[in-house]
Structure 1
Amino acid sequence: MQNANSKCGLSENKEGQFEDNIQTNAYVWYDKNWQHDDYVHTHERYQLTYVEEGYQYFHIEEKTYLVPQNHVIWIPTKKEHRISSESKTVNLIIALFKIVPQQDFYQNVHVFSAPNVLKEMILYAQKWDKLLTKNEEQAAFLNAILTSLPNFCQENNSLQIPVPADSRLIPVCDYINKNYQYAFEIEELANLAQMSVRSLQRIFKQKTNITLQKYLQLIRILKSIELLDSKEYTLSQIAHLVGYKSLSAFSTSYFAVIQEKPKLRK
């Protein structure tokens, strides 16, 4: 059983730092009703997380990654990260690896929708939940998942929300995060940043690699995912709550970001 000073089988000797005493190269950890810590942590293992139910935010360096239901995130070794979620229920299937192939893919963060084959493989691997001793079938199967990941990955960069380091842009992002459901003039944002409209547009794109309009779209769609997860609203209500004038406009925007149509959670 997992004790108070352990996460996914790893021993937490001091806050946010984990010691790995597990001998097997790879193992699976299923967490139902995941209870996350609100501080940054790191570990030696490479981490593959599949969100079976709910959604999860991963805060890594200067980006926040949204991982919706039926998506996976790959996190390299020693990469500091923090997780958060407002979802009522978060079920995660986590695979942790000590050794990975020598390819650039495994040294970077990736978020993508799990194709059916990968999803079924991860669900099958759940039968070895918390098995920390050597098992030939488990080792071979998890290695098959690991080596196939680059082929399964169809990166969705729209699920990455930049967190600008430039202090002038923080009030702009905060304002959008609080007022995303309203229409506002870009001059308002320029005043918050204490710069001209043209300078704001140029510097925001330079620092985040996306435009202000794209940032607003991302925030609206992320908020809609939270509302979909709550199971309290219709699609039309959600469209209105996040600032769209029609369901069709919301659906088009949602598809552009998530690459699937919005649907109510069962």
Structure 2
Amino acid sequence: MQKCGLTEKSPGQYVDTIATDAYVWYEENWQHDEYDHSHQRYQLTYVEEGYQYFHIEKKIYLVPQNHVIWIPTGKEHRTTSEAKTVNLMLVLFKSVSELEFYQNVHVFSAPAVLKEMLRYASKWNKVLTEDTEQQIFLQAIQNSLPHFCKESSGLQIPVPTDSRLIPICSYINANYQYHFDSDVLADKAKMSIRSLQRIFKQETGITLQKYMQLIRILKSIELIDTQQFTLSEIAFKVGYQSLPAFTSSYYAIMKTKPKLKR
């Protein structure tokens, strides 16, 4: 079965039969299997419309509209999304330069020039032969990525390994619209507030308060995608008492102000 241009022999196991060094795959109304898979190509994914969550190792990366994610070769990942429509473009590279950038996962907003380059590259969608222009142009995209990357670290959701923290994260994810004290969470974790705060920061790299803020903003992105609510309604639904408070929190994570789709 062909997926992303690669042949899936068994669930999550791909065989690369593509002769070209770089291969373009564009798909509207993307439907991807929600199980871990890997392949021996470096993957650049551009989310043209909608959003996707990429589950990679101990983190979940949100890739909203007009953002890209770079995934190194052999890295197991799976995707999930509740977006109404997901339009994706993938460029799969067989080889990359020796720069350390290409060996790590990156998520960042696609600047205008990169979006235009990717739109132009769509002319080679699912093309299995390689001409000189294609080779040079796709290589130029790859070479440009380290210069375009302004890391969106706020789009990473850390997943703790300490089993005592899993119920805490689940509780926050289910009740993000409410305000609750640290002692409630500490009681659920069966530890002191100080121990919970210390262990949570050790495990995730962020504080409980930052995790709550992050979940609220990611949920707001999902609500914005539905195109069913005003920004004020979304602010209230994710737990903010005013639109200015929501806008300030959103900007702190996304480095841009929230806006509805047109």
| Superposition TM-score tier, normalisation by shorter sequence | over 0.9
Pair 1:20-2:16 in alignment: yes
Unaligned runs of 5+ in 2: none
Q: Which residue of 2 aligns with 1:113?
A: 109
Pair 1:217-2:213 in alignment: yes
Q: TM-score, normalised by structure 1?
A: 0.98
Provide the C-alpha distance between the structure 2 equivalents of 1:232 and 1:37, rounded to a whole number of angstroms.
27
Provide the C-alpha distance between the structure 1 equivalents of 2:131 and 2:26, rounded to a whole number of angstroms.
17
| Amino acid of the structure 1 residue aligned with 2:141 | I
Provide the C-alpha distance between the structure 2 equivalents of 1:7 and 1:215, rounded to a whole number of angstroms.
34
Identity %, equivalent residues? 68
Pair 1:172-2:165 in alignment: no
Provide the C-alpha distance between the structure 2 equivalents of 1:25 and 1:157, rounded to a whole number of angstroms.
30
Alignment of 1:98-137 (within 5 A): 98-137=94-133
Q: Which residue of 2 aligns with 1:242?
A: 238
Q: Which residue of 2 aligns with 1:46?
A: 42
Unaligned runs of 5+ in 1: none
Q: Which residue of 2 aligns with 1:208?
A: 204
Provide the C-alpha distance between the structure 2 equivalents of 1:163 and 1:132, rounded to a whole number of angstroms.
38
Equivalent position SS for 2:91 = strand
Q: Which residue of 2 aligns with 1:140?
A: 136
Equivalent position SS for 2:183 = helix
Q: Which residue of 2 aligns with 1:153?
A: 149
Q: Which residue of 1 aligns with 2:184?
A: 188
Provide the C-alpha distance between the structure 2 equivalents of 1:117 and 1:59, rounded to a whole number of angstroms.
28
1:156 deviation in Å?
1.1
| Amino acid of the structure 1 residue aligned with 2:63 | V
Structure 1 vs Structure 2 CA RMSD: 0.6
Provide the C-alpha distance between the structure 2 equivalents of 1:102 and 1:19, rounded to a whole number of angstroms.
24
Q: TM-score, normalised by structure 2?
A: 0.99
1:171 deviation in Å?
0.6
Equivalent position SS for 2:244 = helix
- Matching residue within 85, 88, 103 for 2:84: 88
1:256 deviation in Å?
0.8
Provide the C-alpha distance between the structure 2 equivalents of 1:124 and 1:260, rounded to a whole number of angstroms.
26
Provide the C-alpha distance between the structure 2 equivalents of 1:92 and 1:240, rounded to a whole number of angstroms.
30
Output one character per residue of 1:80-112: Cα deviation in whole Å (capped at 9) or x when no partner: 000000000000011000000011100000000
Equivalent position SS for 2:138 = helix
Provide the C-alpha distance between the structure 2 equivalents of 1:175 and 1:201, rounded to a whole number of angstroms.
15
Pair 1:58-2:54 in alignment: yes
| Amino acid of the structure 2 residue aligned with 1:259 | K
| Amino acid of the structure 2 residue aligned with 1:7 | K
Provide the C-alpha distance between the structure 2 equivalents of 1:159 and 1:66, rounded to a whole number of angstroms.
5
1:34 deviation in Å?
0.1
Equivalent position SS for 2:84 = coil
Q: Which residue of 2 aligns with 1:36?
A: 32
Equivalent position SS for 1:188 = helix
Segments ≥4 residues shifted beyond 6 Å? none
Q: Which residue of 2 aligns with 1:251?
A: 247
Equivalent position SS for 2:164 = helix
1:77 deviation in Å?
0.1
Equivalent position SS for 1:195 = coil
1:132 deviation in Å?
1.3
- Matching residue within 37, 55, 79 for 2:75: 79
Equivalent position SS for 2:165 = helix
| Amino acid of the structure 1 residue aligned with 2:185 | L
